[in-house]
Amino acid sequence: MKFSNRSSRLGWLRLGTLGILALSFGLRYPATWAGSVNIVEQQELKAIEASFAASDLDTAQKQITLFLRTYPQSSLAASAENVRGLIYLKQKRFSQSIQAFSHSLELSSNQGFRQYLLYNLASAQLESNAANEADETLRQIHPELMDRPNRLKLITLQVSIYEKMNQPNEAFTYLIGIARAKYDSDNKEQNELVAKLCLQVLQLISDIPSLEKLLQDSDNRALGDGILFRLANLELSKGNAASASKDLRKLIDLYPSSIHLSPSKEMLSQIQQSSVIDRNAIGVLLPLKGKLSKFGTKSLQGIELALDIFNHTEGQSPFKLVLEDAGEEPESAIQALNRLVLKHQVVAVIGPMLSKGAELIAQRAQELRVPLISLSRRAAPAKQDYVFQAGVTQQMQSYAMARYAIQNLGLKKLAILQPSDKLGTDSSQAFWDAVESLGGEIVGFEPYSSLETDFRLPIDKLSGLFYTEARQAELDQLAQDRDTNHITKRTRKTEQFFALKPVVDYQAVFIPDEPKKLGQIMPTFSYRDVEGVKFLGTSEWNSSDFVSRAQNYGESSFFVDAFFPDTATGIAKKFLDDYRATFDQDPSSLEAVAYDATRVLRSILASYSGGLSREAVRDQLLKVQDFAGATGKISYKDGQLFRELKVLTIKTGKIRDTRG
């Protein structure tokens, strides 16, 4: 799939539940709305819908084209065109989807059906990053002409449009209006949805005066508790414990049945406890049990080494580690964080390391006003001055990889082949942003299922071998060559007279996936005659597993990581030697990153001889510049403890640093 402009890319990045919801519209209602129709036309439309429902989109497209050509004046033409729009929406081809839905609206005069067409059109406009147009389209809808379930979807879409336009206050006001509407006031599902969306919208409002005004303007008590709870959390995150306590007490008094009652009482108790700290107690929040414990153990060993826990020649370490198992779910990690701060009174926390729930854990640390040095690959949320990202995030890796490709390798035209999971999407988005900011161009993008094992289709789409409509002249030439050479049968020897050659207009392809998948993907490029491209990846490639799976294709690969023992010098060499002597094995970047994060914190704690507060630790972390670490010089920048990553490659079957 090729993209000619940024808007197409943005549409891909944001396709989520709204796009999926839209797929249910237009197909639920009988085509006989339009009046008496030919039974054959009805059957053919049902066949189109069946192909779409079975995800046989190519067949459905062909059926639609034939239907409209055969029955140009059919009263079912609008329904057929609507299915075409749904196909494009599912394929993330938003411009074509908008055109199809607009054409369907022109063809349809049925007011009931038009409501769903307008919804589909607004969904496509939102996904194409045209929120203002989507808002205008949605305002044309008459909700009373839709059934209750779809009116709920309409509410969700309108809120998403407000969010996209960065208008959370307007979204909340809109929801208050829905809650007041009398014609649906007995709709339990709607009331529950409105309450849920209100909580979602409130998280986007960080302006305390705006929230206070919403509270003042709202006469709907069912929503006031959510505003008060949000106010209390914001006040607490800004250090205004007295104001937060006032809001919480008001919530407890006015809303004894609120879902926020229990957490409000707990927050009040925590405010009283959180001011007490043990200046030598450092909290550790890592997965210490279960299938992910091996990774937690690696990070813990780096932390212990940095604090001289096992180095008795230096005397007893003044610091004590308080360990809490983060578990595998955000809820358990947040509970563990609460224990570290409120029960054990730690001065700061190192962790978590998992991406899942990292934002929620960071938010809780901000509320507790405890310095949190995260080892996760998920970037810390902006504007949280108690949260410090020490882990090598996907954004860091993607930017470093893009910069090396463009500035060192001299590449300008790049492609992305991406697994359709959260990690793959985040990495690809960051890589795309970096490439464009550095003057490069993404000329192709293709996603694939994380369960995929046959990669011919996405590679064909990336290389001009799937969408062949624009290559008709070449196909005609191949047919002519077959006639000239009297070739009627396709065999291995005659394949050149049947198959189009790939269109490889990219110099390298970024693939943020694990070595196991790369062992299948890389050979497929060669199998499809795509030669001469370089492969760009992430720190997951820095393993012997990747070397064995990539085989000869690894010689054309480049990837990044924070630590590489073969070229370690200075602090990195000391860390390497100490780790080997202590644990009798070589460390990876997991241990090195945890080691550096702990040494930064240790240097700050050791510099205080008198009283120490968490706020003081936070302030010193914000000032970190050029701290010499095992992973390089570390400096604080925009919420991150940033370092330059190493770019690695494979030469003669071994991983090597590109700098020699």
How confident is the model over 460-482, as pLDDT tens digits?
Answer: 888 887 766 767 777 777 788 78
| 3 state DSSP class of 147 | coil
In a domain, 479, yes or no: no
CATH of the domain at 541: 3.40.50.2300
Contact 121, 102 (CB under 8 A): yes
| Backbone phi, psi, residue 143, to 5° | -55, -30
In a domain, 320, yes or no: no
In a domain, 235, yes or no: no
pLDDT of 13 over the 60 cut: no
How many angstroms from the chain centroid is the CA of residue 236? 28
- DSSP assignment of 456-519, as one string? HHHHHHHTTSS--GGGHHHHHHHHHHHHHTT--S--TTTGGGTPPPP----SEEE--S-HHHHH
Rg of the chain in Å (alpha carbons):
29
Domain end residue (candidates: 145, 166, 187): 166
In a domain, 594, yes or no: no
Segment 630-638 mean pLDDT: 94
Which residue would you say has higher pLDDT here, 42 or 6? Answer: 42
In a domain, 114, yes or no: yes
In a domain, 212, yes or no: no
Q: What is the 3-state secondary structure (H, E, C) of 346-411?
A: EEEEECCCCCCCHHHHHHHHHHHCCCEEECCCCCCCCCCCCEEECCCCHHHHHHHHHHHHHHHCCC
Domain end residue (candidates: 166, 183, 210): 166
Domain count, the chain: 2
In a domain, 358, yes or no: no
Q: Could you give the CA distance from residue 389 to residue 375 in angstroms, rounded to a whole number?
A: 7
pLDDT above 90 covers a percentage of the chain that reads: 53
Domain of 134?
A: 6-166
Q: Could you give the CA distance from residue 305 to residue 294 in angstroms, rounded to a whole number?
A: 17
pLDDT band with cut points at 50, 70 and 90 for residue 17: very low
pLDDT band with cut points at 50, 70 and 90 for residue 315: low
Q: Which residues of 306-318 are buried (b: 16+ CB within 10 A; e: fewer)?
A: bbbbeeeeeeebe
In a domain, 189, yes or no: no
Comparing C-alpha atoms, which of 82, 88, 69 is closest to residue 27?
A: 82
CATH of the domain at 160: 1.25.40.10
What tokens does 269 get?
Answer: 């108790």
Q: Specify the DSSP class assigned to residue 36.
A: S
Domain end residue (candidates: 133, 166, 199): 166
pLDDT of 19 over the 70 cut: no
Segment 441-463 mean pLDDT: 91
What tokens does 588 get?
Answer: 């990876």
| Structural element, H or E, at residue 206 | none
Comparing C-alpha atoms, which of 126, 127, 133 is closest to residue 12?
A: 127
Look at the chain and count its residues.
660
Residues 6+ apart with CB under 8 A from 162: 135, 168, 170, 171, 174, 201
Contact 546, 518 (CB under 8 A): yes
Q: Could you give the CA distance from residue 333 to residue 284 in angstroms, rounded to a whole number?
A: 11
Which residue would you say has higher pLDDT here, 5 or 594? Answer: 594
Segment 234-252 mean pLDDT: 85
